[in-house]
Structure 1
Amino acid sequence: MPASPPPFSRFEWLIAWRYLRARRAEGGVSVMTWISLIGISLAVAALIITLSVRAGFRAEFVDTILGANAHVTIYNAGEPNEAGRLDRTIPDYTDMAARIAAVPGVTRAAPLVKGQVMASARGATTGVEVFGIAPEDLATIPRIANPDTAQGDLATFGGEEGIAVGSGVARALNLTLGDRIKLISPDGVKTAFGTSPRVKTYEITYIFTAGRYDIDQTRVYMPFTEAQSYFNREGVADEIEIMVDRPEEVDRMAYDLLRAAGERALIWTWRDASGSFLRALDIEDNVMFIILSVLVLIASMNIVSGLIMLVKNKGRDIGILRTMGLTEASVLRVFFLCGASTGLIGTAIGLVLGCLFAIYIDPIFALVDRMSGGNVWDPSVRGIYALPALLQWKDVLSAVALSLGLSFVVTIFPARRAARMNPVEALRYE
């Protein structure tokens, strides 16, 4: 008895290829094959693009948080002062910062003075938040001290009348390097008749772009000692700004930081500030993956339609092949190869399209923005200035695995139908 051929033999591939490229006059379903191919390609490309954009948006958002803001903020619990108001200032800020800096994992601990004031120049006004910080500490903030996006020399920051402003502040007030800006604080000089506003003019020596619209539009940096004088904080600081080497593990460091800071200390991490938004991004990521997975499934169902039509048109051929000795398993594998090949080729095309779109998203987005007349991406709403994309192997592999898995699974059912076709019934009316 001759040995049966191994699965997926050469003749099975030849028959499957013959059916895939059959012309309409020969009973083929090339149109349905092309529709299935295009549908799967577009679905896979859309899935990869979406996963890349959401990964890029999350990475850019987190990078702007960690690159321009404190990873951890330490401040004191409020105590009533002589006037009966809660006082949260830190009188021993130098010693506290030194103790915190000694905690393993802390890269910098800097005292800060913060206040909200009105900025005015050339007849225009805008509200800003002033950060009083030492020049050597400001130079360690990556997004602020980035020379590629900044104007001016950070070494000039530190004089009594030199301050650093965000690019959005400079744009709103139409200011450039060397111009002077007036800061107006309602909490100024205390007199016998009450507190009078404090008004002082400073020279702009540095303009930074942090990459976050809300930061660039509102933030101003002032030397620490000058901020103490301007905000009536002589001898005290408002909080301690902390940077750590592993921001993702900041929660594990909370106890050590509180113990080093002292009894009155309270802690506020970057996760506390942005945790709800990041959780919303996670939920959105999962929902978008499910929705696009349904699109891939719908595209894969076109393979079923094409194979059912192919099986119906090739009923006579199936009957002849069965009478010639072709087994049910061989017939099943032939039609499985037809559907799986469509899914495989469509997935490969979609993979290339999706990766190319993610890699060249900047010129593509610039073209779309130009064709639509601009203002497609509003940074005041999105928070960042451009649509980012980050290709990750896990996202690409998940898209490919989903497409191939669905394509292979849906192909089995029409292939089994072809394999179980009775050759006598298939040839009865031929």
Structure 2
Amino acid sequence: MSNTPFSRFEWMIAWRYLRARKAEGGVSTMTWISLIGITLAVAALIITLAVRTGFRTEFVDTILGANGHVSVYSAGEFKENGQIDRAITDFDGWAENIRAVEGVTRAAPVVKGQVMANHIDANAGVQVFGMRLDDFRTLPRIADPETAQGSLENYDDGIAIGAGVARDLGLTLGEKIRLISPNGVKTAFGVSPRINVYDVTYIFSAGRYDIDSTRVYLPLAEAQSFFNKEGSVDEIEIMVDDPEAIDRYVPLVLAAAGEGALSWTWQDSAGAFLRALEIEDNVMFIILSVLVLIASMNIVSGLIMLVKNKGRDIGILRTMGLTEGSVLRVFFLCGSLTGVVGTIAGVILGCLFAIYIDPIFAAVNYLSGGGVWDASVRGIYALPAELQLGDVLSAVALSLGLSFVVTIFPARRAARMNPVEALRYE
């Protein structure tokens, strides 16, 4: 009898055992349980990895698309009253020098302030960003005609507000919004609140609930006047070619800005959340890996039953000249084939779920009566999923590796079975 590893004869025996009925001593029911368990475990792992990747990508994209990758501001000087004055007066010079740095794609002078927004009886706290129209156009997530209402050409004639602000205040294009700042007009009797009214000329959606619900944009000159910062800005908002490598640009940008410049990167502001997300991802991968291991252990149960039921067959095959290695490979094939088929089915199911997650989630939301995804808690408006080859391959490697390893032990038991003992009571 041929001793060639994984010969056609061994494949034939393994396939016959796998499809044998229970009445014939087979374990088809246990095989199906193992197959379904591995399929669901692998699918769950791939879906989790895809959602994890999609969530991080969406979160980072909304940060990078609606904010500067690094902000440069002044260390400031102490005034006579003991306060620090951080105003940047030569902001156009700073911006021009920073734009000359290789890799910098945008350097925009910005005025920032927090005020109260009012429309009829509705009020909301908002953060005002003052910048020029040309700089406003270069914000990918903000100046996006596909998700926005209104025209950028009217930016200098009024105010641009987030979709959440418009929703909370009940505003539409062309209506008026009132901004109220407690640090307003300086008079002989002190500082009185400044109240200005603006026409809503643009409504944007950045894809992030917190940004859309708190942010508005004014033309730079109007923002300087509103916050009593004529001739100065608070910071220079910068974008670069490779935001993930922002640390490489920071020294160059600070050198271009000059002495007294400080920086604050997007990783500084979102780093804690991203680190927490990474830890959560690792924990979820470990938990789901345990599920795959549990599903793989069903293969062991099925093979142990198969070896017990096929003791007579093993004895006969051994007396016919089948080696221990051949017997081991036959039962290894029985177990590993279950793992392979289950893994393939799990990959298909997981990929299909990730690809069609939007209609699936919409159906779940409809059947549950809505409210499954709360954007105010999650931060983004939908559950994203992004398939990556590396994630799929890691799930496949884990499933196949565990399936192959756990199969070896019952297969070795079958190979070491004494043919005399196996046939003694037959």
Structure 1 length as normaliser, TM-score?
0.98
4+ residue runs of structure 1 moved beyond 4 angstroms? none
Equivalent position amino acid for 1:243 in 2: M
Q: How far apart in 2 are the matches of 1:166 and 1:82?
A: 39
Q: Which residue in the other structure is 1:38 paired with?
A: 36
Q: Which residue in the other structure is 2:370 paired with?
A: 374
Q: Which residue in the other structure is 2:7 paired with?
A: 9
* Pair 1:250-2:253 in alignment: no
Q: Which residue in the other structure is 2:416 paired with?
A: 420
Q: 2:58 aligns with which of 53, 57, 60?
A: 60
Equivalent position amino acid for 2:236 in 1: I
Q: Which residue in the other structure is 1:398 paired with?
A: 394
Q: 1:236 aligns with which of 224, 232, 238?
A: 232
Q: 1:143 aligns with which of 120, 138, 141?
A: 141
For 1:158, what is the secondary structure of its paired residue?
helix
Q: How far apart in 2 are the matches of 1:85 and 1:15?
A: 86
Q: Which residue in the other structure is 1:125 paired with?
A: 123
Q: How far apart in 2 are the matches of 1:82 and 1:130?
A: 28
* Pair 1:167-2:163 in alignment: yes
Equivalent position amino acid for 2:355 in 1: I
Q: How far apart in 2 are the matches of 1:237 and 1:290?
A: 48
Residue pair 2:3, 2:326 contacting (<8 A) in 1 also: no
For 1:376, what is the secondary structure of its paired residue?
coil
Q: How far apart in 2 are the matches of 1:321 and 1:106?
A: 73
Equivalent position amino acid for 1:27 in 2: G
Q: Which residue in the other structure is 2:18 paired with?
A: 20
Instruction: State percent identity of aligned pairs.
Output: 74
Residue pair 2:159, 2:217 contacting (<8 A) in 1 also: yes
For 2:213, what is the secondary structure of its paired residue?
helix
Deviation at 1:85, TM superposition (A): 2.1
Q: Which residue in the other structure is 1:199 paired with?
A: 195
* Pair 1:289-2:285 in alignment: yes
Equivalent position amino acid for 2:284 in 1: M
Q: Which residue in the other structure is 1:271 paired with?
A: 267
Consecutive unaligned residues in structure 1, runs of 5 or more: none
Equivalent position amino acid for 2:26 in 1: G
Deviation at 1:142, TM superposition (A): 0.2
| 1:18-48 CA-partner distances (Å, limit 9, x unpaired) | 1001111111111110000000000000000
Q: Which residue in the other structure is 2:301 paired with?
A: 305
Q: How far apart in 2 are the matches of 1:246 and 1:24?
A: 61
Q: How far apart in 1 are the matches of 2:83 and 2:413?
A: 82
Deviation at 1:254, TM superposition (A): 1.2
| 1:172-208 CA-partner distances (Å, limit 9, x unpaired) | 0111000000000001011111100000100000000
For 1:126, what is the secondary structure of its paired residue?
strand
Q: Which residue in the other structure is 2:175 paired with?
A: 179
Equivalent position amino acid for 1:294 in 2: V
Equivalent position amino acid for 2:316 in 1: I
Deviation at 1:260, TM superposition (A): 1.0
Q: Which residue in the other structure is 2:208 paired with?
A: 212
Equivalent position amino acid for 2:271 in 1: G
Deviation at 1:261, TM superposition (A): 1.0
Q: How far apart in 1 are the matches of 2:54 and 2:234?
A: 35
Equivalent position amino acid for 1:146 in 2: D
Q: 1:318 aligns with which of 290, 314, 317?
A: 314
| 1:53-82 CA-partner distances (Å, limit 9, x unpaired) | 000000000000000001000111132224
Structure 2 length as normaliser, TM-score?
0.99
* Pair 1:188-2:188 in alignment: no
Q: Which residue in the other structure is 2:325 paired with?
A: 329
When the two chains are superposed, the root-mean-square deviation of aligned CA atoms in Å is 0.9
Q: How far apart in 2 are the matches of 1:139 and 1:41?
A: 48
For 2:387, what is the secondary structure of its paired residue?
coil
Residue pair 2:207, 2:381 contacting (<8 A) in 1 also: yes
Q: How far apart in 1 are the matches of 2:237 and 2:58?
A: 22
Q: How far apart in 2 are the matches of 1:325 and 1:184?
A: 94
Q: How far apart in 2 are the matches of 1:303 and 1:52?
A: 27
Residue pair 2:3, 2:323 contacting (<8 A) in 1 also: no
* Pair 1:29-2:27 in alignment: yes
For 2:68, what is the secondary structure of its paired residue?
coil
| 1:316-362 CA-partner distances (Å, limit 9, x unpaired) | 00001111111111111100000000000000110000000000000
Q: Which residue in the other structure is 1:116 paired with?
A: 114
Equivalent position amino acid for 1:74 in 2: V
Moved more, 309-318 or 247-256: 247-256
For 1:157, what is the secondary structure of its paired residue?
helix
Equivalent position amino acid for 1:153 in 2: S
